[in-house]
Amino acid sequence: MTGIVASVVAVTGMGVVTTAGPAQAAAPTCNGSYAWKISSSYFAWVPARGDTTVCNLAPGNSSSAVERLQRALVLCYGQSIEIDGNFGNNTKRALEAAQRVERIEDDGLYGFVTRSKLKWPKRNYQGETWTGSCIRTW
């Protein structure tokens, strides 16, 4: 059921109805990086969890995945933040600014929509050096 957002409805004994959030909210937290192959010569590091890039980041997270996001915000969006791997208020504000540039909801959270729209530093396989350009990987 691709493209359909599912909700779970639970009815308690008191007649109160609650709903769970969208299915994408169940994606795990990114905790590492994945080398997204662009060509035989170029790649981009993107946040990942294991071998999947379907993951989320939010304030309070600390990992190399946050560091990859911060590096993209600095190199591709000109944000002036510390690349320390900690998703704090400065990272949230920088991500909100990048989301506005990409004309998506500026909620400061890294998930499905943000993942599909952000640009990432394009790197050479040889030496992993930054090419000076950024590219969308999806």
Sequential pLDDT tens for the chain (138 residues): 433 333 333 333 333 333 333 434 579 999 999 999 999 999 999 999 998 999 999 999 999 999 999 999 999 999 999 999 999 999 999 999 999 999 999 999 999 999 999 999 999 998 889 999 999 987
| Domain-embedded: residue 5 | no
Residue 18 confidence (pLDDT): 33
**Residue 78, in any domain of the structure:** yes
Q: Is residue 13 part of a domain?
A: no
Is 30 inside a domain boundary? yes
6 inside domain: no
Based on the structure, what is the number of domains in the chain?
A: 1
pTM of the model: 0.81
Nearest 10 degrees: Cα torsion 25, 27, 35, 83: 60
In the chain, what is the straight-line distance between the N-terminal and C-terminal CA atoms, in Å?
21
